[in-house]
Amino acid sequence: MRPHPHLYEINTWPWLDDLSRRSGRPLTLGGVPDREWDALRDRGIDLVYLMGIWERSPFGRQIALNNPPLFNAFDDALPDWTANDVAGSAYCISGYQPDPRVGTWDDLVAVRRKLHARGMKLIVDFIPNHTGFDHPWLRSDPDRYVEASLAAFRSNPNAFRAIEVASGDVRLIACGRDPFFAPWNDVAQLDYSNPETRAAMVDELQQLSRLADGARCDMAMLVLSDVFGETWKGHLRAPLPETEFWVEARSAVPAFILLAEVYWDLEWRLQRLGFDFTYDKRLYDRLVHSRATDVRGHLMAQSDYQRRSARFIENHDEARSVVVFRDRVRAAATIISAVPGLRFFYQGQIEGRTDRLPVHLGRWRHQPIDESLRRFYDRLLAVVNDEVFHDGEWQLLSVRSAGDDSDADLVAWRWLLRGALRVVVVNLGGRTAQGLVQLSAELDAMARSEIVVFDDQLNQKEYSWSRAAIDEHGLYVRLEKGSAHVFRVTS
């Protein structure tokens, strides 16, 4: 896999529903037309993440169907939704086998083979923190779950469920949770103080590694020993083992790609425990809420951290990027597509979808394609598919004032590979910005010439500057708000 790979997330269930409607017959993964995989290859995608392929919990689906607080989100995404559109949560599963609506094991093997033939790899979900309440382990191995005392159950019955197990006993099993939110009442909390639980989850991960090339690990920080121990203090059967679960997991699947969904500034820690890539929510938040100076500061982190950061402006958990960024969406997209790290794109992002579909729904509504935005992404993805953006050396560039303070809204960097130079400048501010990009050292790697040509590969315009002017002042850049340059620099 090349450095700084491109990942494309597919919301599998509604995608198959849409393909089925267009083809006039029910399709599972095995029936997906080859042109769909060809299109991803042609856009330079390296990793295809099929989100939501595992068997969804029928019990969890019933909870969703009877949970009015979810209905508003359903209404926003799919105003004409019916009960038949509620598939159940993609993260409340009854086991790691393909949901019948999605396909079979043979279908999944065939998809992986097709991806490999096109130079791409398959990523699937791994959900370490919890299972659905109808997972077979609840009856056969209830000790693999966090259990409450009767007193704890009576004091907070919404945090636990009474489950009859195979022996006929009733066990009080904890609902899964993030410590900062109310319990998720559709899922059962696995107990990482039990070595048998850890071994069973490592085994699940090993099984996945035989069928896919990597896994996106849901809420990966929740099973860190200190986080888990603090969340479930007073409910654990034994002290937590000294070895972190993720160390055991990494050792068991050394060649398997591990992508962590992680928050709370725990990204570097999970990288050191063996994750290939970790969500960079901090960059996302700074692109949404902060100034360009904060984004620039974030991009000054050490190179190994940058390389293993997953950059995104949307995924299935976030609002759509065209809604969040509005007229700055092209600038934000250029940032996450052309800096180091895993470049993460979500289905519908390129086409300008505006609706965020809850993970419970199996159908999305028709929306017209934003042709202008799609053309922009087609150009951008073609540009950053070049080897210089993968094998080259990356460096932030300084930007000086060109007469006012708007240079503070600009972020600039370059990629350099065997004399090939690319320079990216982005305006993240809310106004037109100008500045002088400092490039003299970068131009020294090229053949000496009196004139330097800057070919903007995004906007298909060409600019010529004297080398002497660049050496004395820098490259003058003026960008409208939300705009970007990606220059191919030649002598």
- In the chain, where the domains are located: 6-132+192-389, 393-490
The pLDDT assigned to 308 comes to 97
- The CATH number of the structural domain formed by 6-132+192-389 is 3.20.20.80
Of the CATH numbers 2.40.50.1020, 2.60.40.1180, 3.40.309.10, 1.20.1090.10, which one belongs to the domain with range 393-490? 2.60.40.1180
Residue 44: closest CA among 124, 123, 120, 122 = 120
Residue 123: closest CA among 60, 23, 226, 40 = 40
The pLDDT assigned to 84 comes to 96
10-residue mean pLDDT series, the chain (491 residues): 97 97 94 97 98 97 95 96 97 97 97 98 98 96 95 92 91 95 96 97 98 98 96 91 95 98 96 98 96 95 96 97 96 98 98 96 95 97 98 96 95 95 96 95 78 93 90 94 96 81
Has this prediction a pTM greater than 0.85?
Answer: yes
User: Does residue 409 sit in helix, strand or coil?
Assistant: helix
Question: H or E stretch including 270?
Answer: helix 267-272
DSSP calls for 271-334? HHTT-SEEE-HHHHHHHHHS-HHHHHHHTTS-HHHHHTEEE-S--TTSPPHHHHHGGGHHHHHH
The pLDDT assigned to 49 comes to 98
The pLDDT assigned to 445 comes to 72
